[in-house]
Amino acid sequence: MVLAAADRGVRVSVVRLPPSVHGRGDHAFVPALIDIARRTGVAAFVGDGANRWPAVHRLDAARLFRLALEKAAPGSRLHGAAEEGIPMRAIAEAIGQGLGVPGRGMAEDEAAAHFDWLAGFGAFDNPTSSALTRNALEWRPREPELLTDMRDSGYFS
């Protein structure tokens, strides 16, 4: 549909956002992980926690959508990742510090019960580059990175 609209001269783009779009009002993956850790008393990660989640602050994502409307070539495919991939272990450790609970690795079969509907995401390795998007649109994320935002923006209150 996007390419068909672009062929008709409509300035359209597809913007792929990472699983973690963070900032005030975040009610998605990281708050869900925090709720699980709060309920279970453990900030967990799967295996060694080296798998990565990309992230972007919501205000940086908003600027990307504006730039896409203003400057992107019709039919562009854009990646809105400010951070290519934060190790899940680092996210779990930040959650553990924020809640005062221990962090620990779990085997995949154990993680399925712990994470419930998030189990598949907990083990997924999803590094995402936005280099082409940054170069094409001169997009420069400038808001806090995920771990800083978690610590400073009330994620644990």
Domain boundaries of the chain, sorted by first residue: 2-144
| Cα–Cα dist 134/90, whole Å | 25
Structure confidence by residue, pLDDT tens digits, 80-108: 999 999 999 999 999 999 999 999 999 98
pLDDT mean across residues, the chain:
92
Residue 123 is predicted with a pLDDT of 80
Structure confidence by residue, pLDDT tens digits, 8-61: 877 889 999 998 999 988 888 899 999 999 999 999 999 999 999 999 999 999
DSSP per residue over the chain, as a string?
Answer: -HHHHHHTT---EEEEPPSEEESTT--SHHHHHHHHHHHHS-EEEETTS--EEEEEEHHHHHHHHHHHHHHPPTTEEEE--SEEEEEHHHHHHHHHHHHT--EEEE-HHHHHHHHGGGHHHHH-------HHHHHHHT----SPPHHHHHHHTTTT-
CATH of segment(s) 2-144 = 3.40.50.720
pTM for the predicted model, two decimal places: 0.90
Distance of CA 129 to the CA centre of its chain: 12
Residue 116 is predicted with a pLDDT of 85
